[in-house]
């Protein structure tokens, strides 16, 4: 469910487009040198092929897949929280992404569902203000099989990162 404030004006939408131009630059800078960045790009490509209308409402699939593939080698966790862009659209939406504690970075393969100019493979500092963390977790009850990503996890686990 998406919650919008009542007082949203046209100027706030243009602010989003201006701010979003800086996000890909920041993300590109932070992703340089990450040993698993090519894997993130490959995972995003697979998600786009496997799921109709990806990334819209597929953040749980993406965060689970990233955790399953990168957890053992890099300690990547899943994060449950909210996407907040209150300064611009007043948008508050439940969201899931990943956290790399060794680099202090958030990883998000579905953030562009909220605005098309956001990067498809996003890497942000943990302090970024539009991702509000509720909790991190390594094990989540919803299985990879129930999400339909079990085959993808198996493929990447055998060939890409471990």
State yes or no: pLDDT of 87 exceeds 80: no
Tell me the pTM. Answer: 0.76
Mean pLDDT (the chain) is 77
pLDDT for 40 equals 96
Question: Do strands 91-100 and 131-137 pair parallel, antiparallel, or not at all (unpaired)?
Answer: unpaired
Q: Would you mind telling me the total number of residues written for the chain in this entry?
A: 162
Beta strands in 64-118 (DSSP E): 76-85, 91-100, 105-108
In angstroms, the CA 10 to CA 156 distance is 43
């Amino acid at each position: 469910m998406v919650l919008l404030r009542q007082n949203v004006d046209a100027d706030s939408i243009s602010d989003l487009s201006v701010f979003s131009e800086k996000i890909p630059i920041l993300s590109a800078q932070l992703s340089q040198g990450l040993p698993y960045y090519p894997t993130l790009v490959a995972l995003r490509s697979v998600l786009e092929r496997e799921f109709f209308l990806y990334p819209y409402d597929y953040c749980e699939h993406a965060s689970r897949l990233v955790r399953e593939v990168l957890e053992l080698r890099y300690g990547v966790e899943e994060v449950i929280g909210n996407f907040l862009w209150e300064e611009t659209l007043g948008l508050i939406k439940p969201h899931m992404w990943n956290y790399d504690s060794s680099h202090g970075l958030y990883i998000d393969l579905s953030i562009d569902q909220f605005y098309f100019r956001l990067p498809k493979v996003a890497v942000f500092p943990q302090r970024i203000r539009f991702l509000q963390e509720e909790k991190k977790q390594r094990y989540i009850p919803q299985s990879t099989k129930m999400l339909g990503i079990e085959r993808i996890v198996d493929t990447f686990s055998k060939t890409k990162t471990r």
